[in-house]
């Protein structure tokens, strides 16, 4: 890897934008899902990682959480919670999977679940705002010291949002390390094996840092 191949460290924040769309029951949710802005799908699956949470919900995405808490439909919540957005190449494919799960559930149900007034599902759209940290990395071994110091916003931007931004659908670290010589192939494999969805960002940062440390064990980390 040449010194010209510089990794520019970015940070980000997830801005929540109300759409004004809301669903009182499962059929209304299905109807809105078919045409809602793709940023809503992104927000209701990935947004929970960046926005503050004061509990540890049993279900990961907002659709599953609402189904359990407000529709009291545990079966549907469990089905929706099994959907891992990291498995889908784009938002539209993910949208189709959510729609299919709900349509199948409705076809098997005699009663349409309703939420109480005030407990509707409110569709929120996400917008990513990015910041340049000014940090530049010239060599992969520098990541050993840097990763534990990165903000959670940087981890989200480079490891999660990169899958949406890049045509390859990969994280920024892997794209930076990829090259014709294959020098970092084993490191790439370890990074690509991480599923970022079912973990907190702080734990994700630790996993990424551990991988870099294992591949560059002789790198000295300053206190």
**Complete DSSP assignment for the chain:** --TT-PEEEEEEEEEEEEEEEEESBHHHHHHHHTTS-HHHHHHHHHHHHHS--SS--SSSSHHHHHHHHTS--HHHHHHHHT--GGGSSSHHHHHHHHHHHHHHHHHT-SS--BPPTT-PEEEEEEEEEEEEEEEEE-SGGGHHHHGGGS-HHHHIIIIIIHHHHSTT---HHHHHH--TT-TTHHHHHHHHT---TTS-HHHHHHHHHHHHHHHSTT-----
Question: Global pTM?
Answer: 0.89
Q: Please work out, in degrees rounded to the nearest 5, the angle formed at the alpha carbon of residue 126 by the alpha carbons of 64 and 82.
A: 25
Residue 208, sorted as left (phi over 0), alpha (psi -120 to 50) or beta, turns out to be alpha
* Contact assessment for residue 49 and residue 99, using Cβ atoms and an 8 Å cutoff: no
* pLDDT score for 57: 67
Q: For every one of its 223 residues, what pLDDT tens digit does the chain have, with 9 covering 90 and above?
A: 444 589 999 999 989 999 999 999 999 999 999 999 999 999 999 998 887 665 556 788 999 999 999 999 999 999 999 999 999 989 999 999 999 999 999 999 888 989 999 999 999 998 899 999 999 999 999 999 999 999 999 999 999 999 989 888 899 999 999 977 788 999 999 999 999 998 889 999 999 999 999 999 977 666 5
- pLDDT at position 218: 78
d(Cα 38, Cα 194) in Å, to the nearest integer? Answer: 25
The answer to whether the CB of 208 falls within 8 A of the CB of 155 is yes
Question: What is residue 198's predicted lDDT score, i.e. its pLDDT?
Answer: 85
Number of other residues whose CB lies within 10 A of the CB of residue 153: 21
* Nearest-angstrom CA–CA distance, 177 and 1: 8
Q: What pLDDT, on a 0 to 100 scale, did the predictor assign at position 58?
A: 77
Contacts of 69 (CB under 8 A, 6+ apart): 119
Cross-strand bridge partners of residue 204: none
Distances 205 to 52, 69, 132, 159, 215 between C-alpha atoms, Å: 17, 30, 19, 9, 16
Q: What are phi and psi of 162, to 5 degrees?
A: -60, -30
């Amino acid at each position: 890897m040449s010194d010209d191949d510089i990794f520019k460290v970015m940070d980000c924040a997830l801005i929540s934008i109300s759409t004004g769309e809301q669903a009182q029951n499962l059929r209304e949710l299905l109807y809105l899902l078919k045409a809602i802005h793709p940023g809503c799908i992104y927000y209701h699956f990935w947004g929970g990682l960046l926005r503050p949470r004061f509990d540890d919900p049993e279900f990961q995405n907002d659709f599953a959480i609402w189904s359990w808490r407000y529709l009291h439909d545990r079966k549907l919540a469990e089905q929706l919670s099994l959907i891992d957005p990291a498995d889908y190449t784009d938002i539209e494919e993910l949208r189709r999977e959510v729609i299919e799960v709900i349509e199948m559930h409705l076809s098997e149900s005699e009663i349409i679940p309703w939420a109480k007034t005030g407990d509707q599902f409110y569709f929120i759209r996400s917008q990513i705002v990015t910041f340049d940290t000014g940090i530049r990395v010239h060599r992969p071994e520098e990541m050993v010291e840097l990763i534990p110091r990165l903000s959670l916003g940087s981890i989200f931007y480079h490891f999660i949002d990169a899958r949406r931004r890049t045509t390859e659908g990969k994280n920024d670290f892997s794209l930076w390390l990829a090259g014709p010589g294959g020098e970092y192939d084993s490191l790439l494999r370890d990074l690509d094996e991480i599923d970022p969805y079912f973990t907190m960002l702080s734990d994700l940062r630790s996993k990424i840092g551990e991988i870099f440390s294992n591949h560059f064990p002789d790198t000295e980390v300053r206190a």
